[in-house]
Structure 1
Amino acid sequence: MDNFTVMLSSFIIRKKEGFEGERACILPNTVKRGLQKSSLCKNIYLTDIGYYPKALYHNRERQHGCKQYILIYCIHGEGWYIIHHKTYKVKPNHFFILPENVGHKYGADPNNPWTIYWVHFTGQMAGEYFRYLAGNKSFRPHMVFPSDERNLLFDDIIRYSSMINNTDAVIYANNCLYNYLASFKNTVFIKSETERNQIDAVDHCIALMKENLDKNLNLFEICKMMNLSISHLSTLFKEKMHDSPYNYYIFLKIQRACYLLWNTPMNIKTIAAQLGYEDPYHFSRIFKNVMGLSPKQFRNRDQ
C-alpha cells in the first residue's frame, strides 16, 4: 500500500448528509424492471444518476462491487479509487468506469474534494460500452476534454429520468444515455479554441467539396483555395473524419449520385457527367466500390 493509500485510509469519514447543490435520481425497482423489459431500453439503461459538487468526505466501499457499471466523471478537484488492490488518483477532466460485481473503493480528496457527475448503468450491451470506453487502459482513469454539450446531455438525462411516471420521458432519458457515454471518446467533441479553428477548416473543406461536386478537384486545388498546405489539411481531416480528403470527396459525389438515382429519371451517363465523370463506366466502378451495388442495381433495388 503506497503513501497515498495510507493517507486515504486514515482520513476516510462517512458523509452522512448531502452535498450543497447536489442532484440525484435513483430509479425505483418498478421503473428498472420496465426498462429491462423494454425493447427500446433493454440494451443499456441507467439505474442511478447524480451530480455531487465539492463532495468533501464523499466515499464508498463495496466489497463485492455493484450490480451495475459505474461511470464517474470529475470536473473539478481530485479524488481516488481502488480496484484489484491498486490505487488510482483522479484529477479534473478524468473519468473512470468500474465494472459490475468487482469490489472497489472510491472517494474525494480531503484537501481538494472532487466535483463529479456519476451514473450507474446496466443492460444487455453494458459490457460492450465498458470495453469501448475503457479501451486498452483497463481500470486506469482516462483524460477527457470538457464539453458543454456533454453536460447538457447529463442535464436532460437526470431531468427526464426523474419523471418516473412519464414513460416517454424515461425512455427519452435512457436513449440520451447512449450519446452521453459516447461523448467520452475524445474524437466526439471539440477540445479547445485552437481545435475549434481546425474543425472549422475541415468544415470549410467539406463545404468546398459540396460546391464542386460537378468538378474533379484534386487536393492541391482544394488546399490552394483554403490557403493551407496539403499535409496540414490532410492531418486535420484525418483527425476529425477518420478519412482522407480525397476519399470523402468521392463519398460526397456518390451520395449525390444516390439522390439523383432515387429522385430523378436521369440516365446513368447523365448523372456521371453531372458529377464530373466523362466515362460512365469509370463512374459505375467507383459507385459500386463505395456502395456495394452498381448504379443500376441501386436504382432498381426497391422496385
Structure 2
Amino acid sequence: MTYAAVVRIREGFPGQRIRVLPAEVVRTASADGLTSRLLVTDAGYFPHALHHGRQRRHGVQGTIVIFCVSGRGWCETSAGRVAVTAGEVLVIPAGVGHVYGSEDSDPWTIWWMHVRGPDADTAVAQVCGGTTRPRVLRVHDAFRLTAELTRVVELLETDETMPSLVRAAGTAWSVLAQISADDLAGDPERAEPVRQVRDLLRQDLAATVSVSALARTAGLSTSHFAALFRASTGGGVVEYSKRLRMARACELLITTSRLVSEIGQSVGYPDAQYFARQFRTVHGCTPSEFRRRHVETPEALDA
C-alpha cells in the first residue's frame, strides 16, 4: 500500500462535524448495559473532503461505516481495491488493515461512524460474509440512511452521558439493520420491480394471484421475475401472498367478531374450508381455534 505517498491528510474540512469519545468513557460504556453490546465511539460528517484519507495498517478496534453521499472515494486492503461512489456505503470490519481516501477529481462527502461490540460484529459478519474483508453496498434509501447517521452524530454532540450513548447505539443498530436488509434485498434497480409487486399484493389481498400477470406488470419474463422475487423475499410469490393474507386474517380474527367465512372472503378465500386448510398450514390450527386462543373474554380477564 503506497497511500501515504499519494494522498495528503487534511486536518479539517469547512462545515465538518466530528465527535470522538474519550477512552475512559469507552471503557465504562463497554463494560456493562446495552452499550456493552454495541457502542458508537466515533462519528462525523466530512463535506467535499478533498485530500481526505486514512491509513491504518492494523485496522481499528471497531467497525468503520462510511456512507458516501456524493463524490467518489476508494478503499484498499490486502484483498484488493474497491471504489466507493455516491449512494454506496463502505463497511470495514474491525481489525482489518486498510487505506481509504477521497478521489481528488471528485471528492466525496461522507457520513461515518465507528461501532464496536458483539452485536456490531454479528451485523458486520453478515454483511461482509465474515470479518476479514471490507464490503461496498448500494443502499436503497439514501435519505433515511443519511437521517439516521445524522442522528448518531447529533446524539454524540449532545453529551457523553449514558442516555445519549444508548440512544446513539440504538440508532447505529438501525443503520446496520438497514444496510443488512438492503444487502438481502439485492441491487435496488433489480429489486424495484419486486417492491412494486409487493405493494400491489398488499393493497388488494383478495385479488387473484397470477405470477405471469405480475411479471408482465413488472416488465419482466415470468422466470426472471420469479427468480428476482425469490432472491428478494426468500420465497415464491404465491407463498408470500398467502403470508400477507394470513397476517390480515389473524388481525381480523382478534379484533373483530366477523364470521370466519367472511374473513376468509375478505382476504381472497371464498371457500371457507380451503381458507381453513391454508390457515392451518401457516398457524397450525384452524381460524376458529386461533380466535379462541387469542381473544380474551371478560371471564378470562376477571380470572
**TM-score category (smaller protein):** 0.7 to 0.9
| Aligned twin of 1:208 | 204
Unmatched segments (≥5 aa) in structure 2: 297-303
| Aligned twin of 1:158 | 153
Deviation at 1:295? 2.9
User: Which whole-Å deviations, capped at 9, do the CAs of 1:225-255 have from their partners, x for residues lacking one?
Assistant: 9697782875675565454332233223212
What is the one-letter code of the residue matched to 1:90? A
> Which of residues 245, 248, 262 is equivalent to 1:256?
248
Asked whether the equivalents of residues 79 and 107 of structure 1 are also in contact (C-alpha less than 8 Å), the reply is yes
Q: What are the within-5 Å matches in structure 2 for residues 71-150 of structure 1?
A: 71-84=65-78, 86-93=79-86, 94-135=88-129, 139-145=133-139, 147-150=142-145
| Aligned twin of 1:219 | 210
In 2, the alpha carbon distance for the partners of 1:95 and 1:224 equals 31
Deviation at 1:287? 1.2
Q: How many residues align?
A: 290
In 2, the alpha carbon distance for the partners of 1:204 and 1:268 equals 25
- Secondary structure of the residue aligned to 1:183 is helix
Deviation at 1:48? 0.5
Percent pairwise identity: 24
Deviation at 1:142? 1.8
Query: Are 1:282 and 2:274 an aligned pair?
Result: yes
Asked whether the equivalents of residues 78 and 114 of structure 1 are also in contact (C-alpha less than 8 Å), the reply is yes
Query: Are 1:181 and 2:172 an aligned pair?
Result: no
What is the one-letter code of the residue matched to 2:153? I
Deviation at 1:297? 4.2
| Aligned twin of 1:244 | 236
Unmatched segments (≥5 aa) in structure 1: none
Asked whether the equivalents of residues 19 and 153 of structure 2 are also in contact (C-alpha less than 8 Å), the reply is yes
Query: Are 1:11 and 2:11 an aligned pair?
Result: no
Distance 1:247 1:131, change over 3 A: same
Asked whether the equivalents of residues 78 and 89 of structure 1 are also in contact (C-alpha less than 8 Å), the reply is no
Asked whether the equivalents of residues 61 and 95 of structure 2 are also in contact (C-alpha less than 8 Å), the reply is yes
- Secondary structure of the residue aligned to 1:150 is helix
| Aligned twin of 2:60 | 66
In 1, the alpha carbon distance for the partners of 2:85 and 2:268 equals 51
Distance 1:245 1:230, change over 3 A: farther
Asked whether the equivalents of residues 76 and 92 of structure 1 are also in contact (C-alpha less than 8 Å), the reply is yes
Asked whether the equivalents of residues 54 and 101 of structure 2 are also in contact (C-alpha less than 8 Å), the reply is yes
Distance 1:126 1:218, change over 3 A: closer
In 2, the alpha carbon distance for the partners of 1:25 and 1:242 equals 39
Distance 1:108 1:295, change over 3 A: same
> Which of residues 48, 51, 72 is equivalent to 1:57?
51
In 1, the alpha carbon distance for the partners of 2:220 and 2:77 equals 47
In 2, the alpha carbon distance for the partners of 1:224 and 1:91 equals 33
In 1, the alpha carbon distance for the partners of 2:216 and 2:105 equals 54
Query: Are 1:26 and 2:20 an aligned pair?
Result: yes
> Which of residues 18, 40, 43 is equivalent to 1:46?
40
Asked whether the equivalents of residues 120 and 173 of structure 2 are also in contact (C-alpha less than 8 Å), the reply is no
What is the one-letter code of the residue matched to 2:85? P
| Aligned twin of 2:299 | none
In 2, the alpha carbon distance for the partners of 1:126 and 1:288 equals 38
Deviation at 1:27? 2.5
